């Protein structure tokens, strides 16, 4: 998939930030890992099974890639009504959404998805946030061939599952990543070997950013980076905007 990175200069408080703007991609950055889904289909699978949060874009990326490749897509999500915009998009793309009631933990969602997947050998189970080594590799491969000549010293990004963070580390191994935790806790094993600083957003995942950035960004996710960039960003920093 030849979609070169779209780099935009953002000026704030006498500093220049380089925005990697991925909002032009229908499902955001994670759709760059579509070759992973193609391999799954070539391996004989007919359906992807995964789980996640109703407020993340991973559900849209999974549904989008499955539709493009010709795979069925089943996503286990916490019961949320009215449905979020992201879940509605996933459904419009053909995903079968299974609602789990009672404020389920990630563990409960995963267990339900695993049980459903095990009932049929043609179903492929994927972790929350598409956290799979082969997906991370496919994602990093696509970013690498589309990155042009950028070589960032520091990069800001929001993280939940840490899937994109690990893909970007493969592409830019010497970069210092300024990671804004916007959803689930980021465990130390995810960050192993990655030069990083963690910033924790105090708002819940479903809440919109209090300070919106001067560019299009998902308000409950990537937009939460901006409040930290304005305080701690350095001239020349990159900002990765997933959607």
Write down the pLDDT at residue 75.
98
Rg of the chain, C-alpha, whole Å: 17
Q: What is the pLDDT of residues 28-43, one digit of tens each?
A: 999 999 999 999 999 9
Q: How far apart are CA 148 and CA 217, in angstroms?
A: 23
121: buried, middle or exposed (CB in 10 Å: 19+, 13-18, 0-12)?
exposed
What is the per-residue pLDDT for 87?
98
- Given a cut of 90, whether residue 165 has pLDDT beyond it is yes
Whether pTM > 0.85 for this model: the answer is yes
- At 5 the pLDDT is 97
Average pLDDT, the chain: 96
pLDDT at 1 over 80: no
| Four-point Cα dihedral 41, 46, 92, 62, nearest 10 | -50
Average pLDDT over residues 103-129: 96
- Spell out the domains of the chain, with CATH numbers in brackets: 7-25+150-241 (3.40.50), 31-130 (3.40.50.1100)
Residue 159: per-residue pLDDT: 93
């Amino acid at each position: 998939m030849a979609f070169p990175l779209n780099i935009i200069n953002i000026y704030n408080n006498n500093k220049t930030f380089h925005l990697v703007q991925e909002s032009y991609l229908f499902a955001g950055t994670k759709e760059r890992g579509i070759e992973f889904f193609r391999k799954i289909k070539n391996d004989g699978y007919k359906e992807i099974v995964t789980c996640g949060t109703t407020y993340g874009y991973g559900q849209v990326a999974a549904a989008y890639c499955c539709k493009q490749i010709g795979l069925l897509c089943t996503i286990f999500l916490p019961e949320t009504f009215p449905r979020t915009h992201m879940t509605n998009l996933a459904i419009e793309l053909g995903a079968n959404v299974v609602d789990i009631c009672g404020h389920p933990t990630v563990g409960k969602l995963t267990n339900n998805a695993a049980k459903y997947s095990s009932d049929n050998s043609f179903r492929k189970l994927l972790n929350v946030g598409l956290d799979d080594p082969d997906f991370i590799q496919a994602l990093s491969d696509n970013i690498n061939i589309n990155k042009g000549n950028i070589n960032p010293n520091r990069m800001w990004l929001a993280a939940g599952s840490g899937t994109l963070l690990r893909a970007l580390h493969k592409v830019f191994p010497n970069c210092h990543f300024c990671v804004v935790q916007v959803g689930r806790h980021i465990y130390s094993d995810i960050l192993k070997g990655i030069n990083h600083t963690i910033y924790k957003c105090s708002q819940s995942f479903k809440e919109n950013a209090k300070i919106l950035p001067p560019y299009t960004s998902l308000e409950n996710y990537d937009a939460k980076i901006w409040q930290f960039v304005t305080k701690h960003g350095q001239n020349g920093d990159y900002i990765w905007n997933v959607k």
